Amino acid sequence: MNFYDIIFYIFAAITLLSALFVVTTRNIVHSAFYLLFTFFGVAGIYVLLGADFIAISQILIYVGGILILLLFGVMLTNKITNVEIRTGTVHMLPAAIASGIFMGAVVAVMVWTEWKSEPSVTPLTTTKDIGHLLLTDYVLIFELLGILLLVALIGAASIARRDKE
């Protein structure tokens, strides 16, 4: 058990424990803050897998963008008197049983399958190669995603605007 393994177990524990709190705590604001730790843990796992650029994008976009957006969503859709904003829950027991069975089945498959694993020698920095791939092999998807982001921007603004009285 070397240093790499210890770091992996620490990040996995952070990710899974905070994800558990995200889906079990009843206070929405607390959930949003636990989600912060989940995103950081996942970014750490990306770094361990040699994906430095994706890890930075994860922190910038998820923590800096999506999480702030979710917090705005929480704040704007509740009558705020204090930070105790609670959410109701439905079907707790059936959902726990079903997702538990699903988790067991998938983990069993993952453990028993003989993966043909040959770890690639990852380059020290991946940014240059990712940029190269984006403008050669994946240039069509890259352009389409640019259009999609523009459409999403206009669509979100037009859906959320106030009607003129």
Partner 1 sequence: MLQVGLTHFLIVSAILFSLGIYGIVTRKNAVMVLMGIELVLNSANINFIAFSKYGNFGLSGQVIALFVIILAAAEAAIALAIVLNIYKTFSNVNVDEIDHLKE
Out of 30, 36, 50, 63, the only residue in the binding site for partner 1 (CB under 8 A) is 50
Cα–Cα distance, 14 to 44 (Å, whole number): 10
Count of C-beta atoms within a 10 Å radius of residue 164: 4
Of residues 54-113, which lie at the interface with partner 1 (CB under 8 A)?
Answer: 54, 57-58, 61-62, 65-66, 69-70, 72-74, 76-77, 87-92, 95-96, 98-100, 102-103, 106-107, 110-111
Angle in degrees, 0-180, between the axes of helices 127-135 and 139-160, rounded to the nearest 10: 90
Check residue 135 for interaction with partner 1 (CB under 8 A). no
Check residue 3 for interaction with partner 1 (CB under 8 A). no
Q: What residues does 86 pair with on adjacent strands?
A: 27
Name the 3-class secondary structure at 58. helix
Out of 10, 49, 80, 139, the only residue in the binding site for partner 1 (CB under 8 A) is 49
Check residue 33 for interaction with partner 1 (CB under 8 A). no
Are 47 and 58 within 8 A, CB to CB? no
Check residue 12 for interaction with partner 1 (CB under 8 A). yes
Supply the minimum distance, in Å, between the C-beta of residue 82 and partner 1.
17
Q: Which is closer to partner 1, CB of 69 or CB of 84? A: 69
Check residue 125 for interaction with partner 1 (CB under 8 A). no
Cα–Cα distance, 136 to 69 (Å, whole number): 33
Cα–Cα distance, 33 to 43 (Å, whole number): 16
Check residue 44 for interaction with partner 1 (CB under 8 A). no
Check residue 14 for interaction with partner 1 (CB under 8 A). no
